[in-house]
Structure 1
Amino acid sequence: MAAPRTAFAPGRFYGAPTIERRLPGVRLAHLAATMSAEHVDEHSHDDAHFVLATRGRYETTAWGPETEGPVLVYNPPGVVHRDRFVETGGYFLAVSFAAGDWRALADGGAAIDALRLTGPVARRAALRLTRSLLSADAEPLSLEGLSLELAAEALAPPRDGDRRPPWLDLAETYLADAFDQPIGVADLARAAGVHPVHLARGYRRWLGAAPGERLRARRLERAADLLMRGRLPIGEIALAAGFCDQSHLNRQFRHAYGVTPGEFARLCSPRPTRRPDVSGVQDEAPVTP
């Protein structure tokens, strides 16, 4: 007889907390992963939550395109999944909304499936929230506001008729494979098998960005991925990701994610001290994505 799936109580994840904050309507935690992939079973959570993996390779079955850089996932209350870090040593942000609070917030408009959020708005909010949570003087209003900005990205999910066409995935794959080379619209159109004008319109319609903006996003994702590994100086990462120099990367990274590459690197491997949440009470159960 199969063992019952674990259903975690609100705010519970596979990991050990470094910082926790409990605010009206939302619980925030920054955690160090403690379980490798083989020790994570299928499970669910009683709450709606977001997980941002800032260090370590994180596997998820959530719907959405796979990209490099920090993985950001939304899971509705009760959804069964086996999202996990491949190895120990990862860090992640967890943003949790109690099921009742989430339903009231969503008012019937939230996604019912797990989503992989790859848009710049969602990533920017999650990274800023991580930075604020780890700071010593984080204002509750700032934390709540950033949490709601992140929540908004799951409160207007795409309808079935709004799913992007298959040719766009071909173009995005080509972009991911050749992002460090000179690329023109004609190259993308040829790879996707569509007319260049159709491609340009499709990019704006489905991704809200021009092909050149998507190329820049791919380069930023590669830079973020290299920063998460923590093995190269930022100057070398800039060149490896296709940027002219470190200052070019700094400008583009801050504009896209709201933090500099150096700040992001520190978020990937923080050294905060544990402290109680705002209620002054530590959770007793081991925080175990």
Structure 2
Amino acid sequence: MAAPRTAFSQGRFYGAPTVERRLPGVRLAHLQATKRADHVDEHSHDDAHFVLATHGRYITTAAGPETEGPVLVYNPPGVVHRDRFIDGGGYFLAVSFAPADWRALADAGRGAAIDALRLTGPVARRAALRLTRSLLARDAETLSLEGLSLELAAQALTPSADGDKRPSWLDRAETYLADRFDQPITVADLAEVAGVHPVHLARGYRRWMGAAPGDRLRTRRLERAADLLMRGRDPIGEIALASGFCDQSHLNRQFLKAYGVTPGEFARLCGRRPVVASVQDEAGGAA
């Protein structure tokens, strides 16, 4: 007979907290992973929670296209999954809402997503990264942490209308972007791969992704840059070129705009010391 799946109570994960804050309705923690991938079985959580992987190679079973760092996932209460770090030493932010509090948020809004989500939008990632930075600072005001937590929660409280179904051609286009993000790509290229008219493709991207195809290409490039920052020690200038950006200054501007932190700040959140060129990496030099 198969062993019963582990069901974690609120705020509990396969990880040891480095920082933890308990607020009204939500628990925040930055944790170090404590289990190797082959020791992580299918499990569930009593709470609704968000996980942002901040260091290491993270694999998730949440629905959606495969993404690189920073990986941000929403899991509803009770959903069975096997999210895990491939290598040891992973770190992650966890934002946990007790079931009753999550139901209250859903009832006050438009309802909550019933399936796991892989959140790739800039609003969600910006909120999660700012929340990580505030939590690690250890002196953030409760109001600030609560506000950022609710910004993040809102990303799972606006599900698609009943009867809507994401078109399969969008997955083909997204895969093409993921495979060729470091090359010049046109709307015509995407439309040919997807098998739809360019106008239909542009409209579909805006409806289903909330962004233009060019925005999604930039997102893919930023995902690769963040992944390289999380996993390696290459100079930021080299990471910029490897991710499809013109230079380090270009990456600085786009990274700050999308995530609310510079590449150097993100690298420090991930626990590494960035190697930067002469280009200024602070907000004032990235305008």
How big is the shift at 1:237? 0.4
> Where does residue 217 of structure 1 map in the other structure?
219
> Are the counterparts in 2 of residues 230 and 265 from structure 1 also a CA contact under 8 Å?
no
SS at match of 1:194: coil
CA contact (8 A) 1:179 1:215 kept: yes
Structure 1, unpaired ranges of 5+: 272-289
Aligned to 1:31: 31
Q: Aligned with 2:163: secondary structure?
A: helix
SS at match of 2:62: coil
Whichever residue aligns with residue 70 of structure 1, its letter is P
The runs of at least 4 aligned residues of structure 1 exceeding 2 Å deviation read 158-164
Cα distance between partner residues in 1 of 2:202 and 2:62: 28
Q: Please state how far the C-alpha of 1:230 moved relative to its aligned partner.
A: 2.5
The aligned residue for residue 14 of structure 1 is 14
Aligned to 1:280: none
DSSP 3-state at the match of 1:189? helix
Q: Where do 1:1-289 residues align within 5 Å?
A: 1-107=1-107, 109-159=111-161, 161-269=163-271
CA contact (8 A) 1:65 1:118 kept: no
> Per-residue CA shift, 1:69-107, capped at 9, x if unaligned?
211111111222221111211000000111111111111
1:109 deviation in Å? 0.5
Q: Give the paired residue count.
A: 271
CA contact (8 A) 2:106 2:157 kept: yes
* Contact 1:91 1:269 (8 Å CA) reproduced: no
Counterpart-to-counterpart distance in 1, 2:91 and 2:52: 9
Identical pairs, percent: 86
CA RMSD of aligned residues (A): 1.5
**Separation in 1, partners of 2:164, 2:197:** 21
Deviations 1:16-72 (A, max 9, x none): 110000011110000011101111122111111111111111121111221122111
Structure 1 residues 97 and 250, CA gap change in structure 2 (3 angstroms)? same
Is the CA contact (8 Å cut-off) linking 1:16 and 1:34 kept in structure 2? Answer: yes
What is the CA–CA distance in structure 1 between the aligned matches of 2:115 and 2:121, rounded to whole Å? 17
1:284 is aligned to: none
Contact 2:252 2:262 in 1 (8 A): yes
Cα pair distance change 1:160/1:86, threshold 3 Å: farther
1:162 CA drift (Å)? 3.0
Question: Partner amino acid for 1:117?
Answer: L
The TM-score, its normalising length taken from structure 2, stands at 0.90
> Which ranges of structure 2 fall in alignment gaps of 5 or more residues?
274-287
> Whole-Å Cα distance in 2 between the matches of residues 270 and 48 of structure 1?
30
> Higher relative contact order at CA 8 Å, sep ≥6: structure 1 or structure 2?
1
